[in-house]
Amino acid sequence: MQPVTRYARSGDVNIAYQVVGEGPFDLIWVPGWISNVEASWEVPEYAHFLGRLASFSRLILFDKRGTGRASPTPYPRLPSLEQRMDDVRAVLDAAGSREAAVVGASEGGNLSVLFVATYPERVRALVLIGVYVKRLWSSDYPWAPTPEQRERDTELIEREWGGEMDVAVLAPRALADPALMRRITTFFRRSASPGAAVALNRMNAEMDTRAVLPTIGVPTLVVQRSDDQCVNVEEGRWIANRIPGAKFVELPGEDHLPWVGDCDELLDEVEEFLTGVRRGPEPDRVLATVLFTDIVGSTEKAAEVGDRRWRELLEQYHGAVRRELERWRGREIDTAGDGFFASFDGPARAIRCACAVRDSVQSFGLEIRAGLHTGECELLGEKVAGIAVHTGARVAAKARAGEVLVSSTVKDLVAGSGIEFEEHGEHELKGVPGRWRLYAVSDG
């Protein structure tokens, strides 16, 4: 669920902010260019990024002046860095934060650097992700765009705001993912008007916080993706070298938006720097029914019919299992020889699938055994894992030829389905704590 949006008064404007998480220290996220604290949670990639930050901190989010849910700013009157720095202070005060880690990205780096140098007593640490401290080319800062390039960028924003604009530069992977492209452009459109976006882009060109870097006296981490299309990796290294004692980490990747691409790798570095612990992302968890099947007496059967016929039988078996998985909305997780491992979002469908496979393979002379268990599983990409998976495999190992065996959990969850069971006794399952009562399906 989205956190509650509140407002902090900063001068004559209201700044939208949110607080989420109950970690041991405060962390304020300073986004780049434009923001919308509410729309951020509606973009899955961004929500995951913010969720990771909130998993180890009390996370404070805010909309930069003139963007998102903050009070509109009349343009072309631009907010200064000093005004935006006051906004950060006002938000921290409103959130009851005396000291916070400051994490800034992209254009948010300038604001973060200035705030940390000005109010070091309110900052426990600084993290800069893909930041720049100057946005117009000069001989002593050769990574920034030229004035001509900046003007072309501004014209593109003005002409194509809400469309693809230069998203391919901010997030190259969106070129191959139209849905991601739509999520990003929609987020931008909801975060600022075309006039505000253009004015802020012009304001960014005037920023130069290079002189502030040597005055930063808090622990600092600078993270930079090696092929970032907006900020050169050498630029990030140069910035880190100007901050006393700063740690520089270069990561693979080309996306400038920190919440696009492998953001967990990036967040691992941030979490370890701020907490001393690298836990990694919390695995997604889901309740699922796991099904394991294998052919009974497969070695003897193969020896009896010969290699060629055995291969034909395996193909028939695989085809039968996959047809029934499709019919009963199962998902094939793994196949090893004559064994199948699948998951289902409903235990009754899983049982009916197992019985259908058992009956189908009997027609070509094979017998299977099957085991099922329902429990909380970890989602690891396309795989599922966890103790529930081990339990399901151990239940299958207790089944006899032609038997579909289930744990008591499965039996209890399908009450009223019309599926009938016979007692199979109480068992110890190897590697699984406790004793388990199992049941054989008598009417699939």
Per-residue pLDDT, 398: 94
CATH topology of domain 284-443: Alpha-Beta Plaits (3.30.70)
The pLDDT of residue 406 is above 90: yes
Cα–Cα distances in Å, from 150 out to 61, 66, 73, 208, 256? 29, 21, 22, 15, 17
The pLDDT of residue 70 is above 80: no
Residue ranges covered by each domain of the chain: 6-275, 284-443
Best CA proximity match to 270, nearest among 32, 49, 423, 18? 49
pLDDT in tens, 98-115: 999 999 999 899 999 999
Mean pLDDT taken over the chain = 89
Per-residue pLDDT, 1: 54
Confidence of residue 444 (pLDDT cuts 50, 70, 90): very low
The pLDDT of residue 208 is above 80: yes
Has domain 6-275 been given CATH number 3.10.580.10?
A: no
Q: Give the integer Cα–Cα distance in Å for 15 and 72.
A: 10
Within its chain, how far is the Cα of 170 from the centroid? 18
440/186: higher pLDDT: 440
pLDDT in tens, 246-273: 999 999 999 999 999 889 999 999 999 9
- With a CB cutoff of 8 Å and minimum separation 6, the contacts of 429 are 391, 394, 395, 398, 436
Helix (H, G, I), strand (E, B) or coil at 129: strand
pLDDT in tens, 261-313: 889 999 999 999 999 977 766 667 778 999 999 999 988 888 988 989 988 99
Tokens for 371? 């085991």
Average the pLDDT over each of 163-172, 185-194, 215-224, 291-300 and give the range with the smallest value: 163-172
Q: Kindly tell me the number of DSSP H helices and DSSP E strands found in the chain.
A: 14, 16
Per-residue pLDDT, 19: 96
Cα–Cα distances in Å, from 51 out to 44, 155, 214, 300? 10, 35, 32, 53
The pLDDT of residue 370 is above 80: yes
Tokens for 95? 């959130």
Q: Pinpoint the alpha helices (H) of 363-438.
A: 387-397, 408-413
Q: Which amino acid is at 258?
A: P
Q: Pinpoint the alpha helices (H) of 232-334.
A: 233-242, 263-275, 298-305, 307-327
Q: Which amino acid is at 276?
A: G
Question: Is the distance from CB of 224 to CB of 236 less than 8 angstroms?
Answer: yes
Angle value at C-alpha 31, between 30 and 36, nearest 5 degrees = 115
pLDDT in tens, 233-246: 999 999 999 999 99
Per-residue pLDDT, 155: 83
- What integer is the mean pLDDT of 377-404? 88
- What integer is the mean pLDDT of 369-396? 88
pLDDT in tens, 53-69: 999 999 999 998 878 77
